Amino acid sequence: MLNKKAILILIFGIVSLLFSWVPGAGLVLAIFTLCLYAVNKTVRSDIKSEIGRTLAIIAILVSICSLFYVIVLMPLPGNNAPAWLLSLRSAITNTAFYSDFENNFIAEGRYIYLLKGLGVTFEVTFLAVLLGIVLGVIVALVRSSYDTLKDELRGGFGKGVLAFFYKLCGIYLTVIRGTPVVVQLMIIYFVIFATSNNKIMVAVLAFGINSGAYVAEIIRGGIMSIDKGQFEAGRSLGFGYVRTMTFIIIPQAFKAVLPALANEFIVLIKETSVSGYVGLQELTKGGDIIRSRTYSAFMPLIAVAVIYLLIVMFFSWLVSLLERRLKNSER
């Protein structure tokens, strides 16, 4: 029951954020969400409801902006607006800041560059993080298994295969961490996939492969940070190597490295900003295109920076919530 309410608040938070651009609708939904949160004191400790509340607060801010735009700035058909509104409108529209803003974002629908760019940035980041975690876990497991098992395995085929992959992973880590990500991106786009024009796939591959190397070292560090006694306890109960890792070591290691992994995700959001090198129109490139059209650098670049900052702040906040919950389970 308690859980259902928290999920309801989360869903309403998401919906109100989605509709926040609709003047009025988003505001009503968001306030309703906050009321739900305020009334149900029991769900306060639940992370889902806290996320819902924060989304609702963001939705309210966006709604106020859209309401402000519609009421004050948008020229309505006919001329029945009250005089004070018209004078407020002209007072705002006559400032240099507004004309700059209007020119950069509203004229010819230029905000679309930022919006679409943001979508591409998210798409590339999420897919690359998934690829990075998959690669990272595999590489970390190969490397730490070899370290643990090289004494236990008595030669033979299995050990040879493991040793081969151990070396391969070592080369991967050295090469990827030893070269700049922009160079890797360009090599993948201009050399390896020279015939393909799927820029998103190329960016996902480049950033995923790059991130995998860092994730691997993070996870390996996490596995090594777990007390050896945990491993011995698992083995002494009769679990084999794989099951000990799965049930005992990895859950603890994951918890230990979660902040570092989340940090890697946040780094990756910002890192994708170099995708413009291969012509992918993500957020930074979007701002850059606006700059090249309007010949004004301040507005688009500051807007891009602010958007990155808000995203990073939001995800950092999410991570701190998650960390808090993981800590709770240990107490």
Partner 1 sequence: MNADNDVIISVKDLKKYYNGGEVKALDGVTTDIRKGEVVVVIGPSGSGKSTFLRSLNLLERPTGGTITFEGNDIMAPSTDINKLRQKMGMVFQHFNLFPHLTILRNMTIAPMKLNGLSKEDANAKAMDLLARVGLEDRALAYPSQLSGGQKQRIAIVRALAMDPEVMLFDEPTSALDPEMVGEVLDVMKKLAEAGMTMVCVTHEMGFAREVGTRVIFMDCGRIIEENTPEQIFTNPQNERLQSFLQKVL
Q: Footprint of partner 1 on this chain (CB under 8 A)?
A: 151-152, 154, 227, 229-230, 232-240, 243, 247-248, 251-252, 255, 329-331
- Cβ atoms of 299 and 113 closer than 8 Å: no
Write down the least CB distance from residue 251 to partner 1, Å.
Answer: 5
Q: How far apart, in whole angstroms, are the C-alpha atoms of residue 323 and residue 257?
A: 10
Identity (one letter) of the amino acid at 26? G
Report the Cα 131 to chain-centroid distance in Å.
14
Distance set, CA 134 to CA 24, 113, 141, 297, 315 (Å)? 43, 31, 11, 39, 21
- Closer residue to partner 1 (CB): 151 or 191: 151
Write down the least CB distance from residue 133 to partner 1, Å.
Answer: 20
- Closer residue to partner 1 (CB): 236 or 292: 236
- Closer residue to partner 1 (CB): 195 or 329: 329
Q: How far apart, in whole angstroms, are the C-alpha atoms of residue 173 and residue 123?
A: 25
Write down the least CB distance from residue 215 to partner 1, Å.
Answer: 21
Write down the least CB distance from residue 9 to partner 1, Å.
Answer: 27
User: For 320, how many CA atoms within 13 A lie in the half-sphere containing its CB?
Assistant: 7
Q: Which residue has the tokens 């400032």?
A: 95
Identity (one letter) of the amino acid at 165? F
Q: What's the N-to-C CA distance of the chain in angstroms?
A: 24
Indicate the DSSP class of residue 77. S
Q: Which residue has the tokens 């960016």?
A: 203
- Closer residue to partner 1 (CB): 109 or 151: 151
Q: Which residue has the tokens 């880590």?
A: 173
Write down the least CB distance from residue 240 to partner 1, Å.
Answer: 5
Distance set, CA 120 to CA 114, 280, 282, 300 (Å)? 10, 8, 5, 17
Q: How far apart, in whole angstroms, are the C-alpha atoms of residue 201 and residue 205?
A: 6
- Closer residue to partner 1 (CB): 198 or 328: 328
Write down the least CB distance from residue 45 to partner 1, Å.
Answer: 17
Other C-beta atoms within 10 Å of 46: how many? 19
Write down the least CB distance from residue 324 to partner 1, Å.
Answer: 16
- Closer residue to partner 1 (CB): 40 or 230: 230
- Cβ atoms of 92 and 73 closer than 8 Å: yes
- Closer residue to partner 1 (CB): 235 or 270: 235
- Closer residue to partner 1 (CB): 94 or 152: 152
Write down the least CB distance from residue 229 to partner 1, Å.
Answer: 4
Identity (one letter) of the amino acid at 102? E
- Closer residue to partner 1 (CB): 40 or 252: 252
Distance set, CA 58 to CA 29, 113, 116, 308 (Å)? 12, 22, 20, 15
Write down the least CB distance from residue 233 to partner 1, Å.
Answer: 4
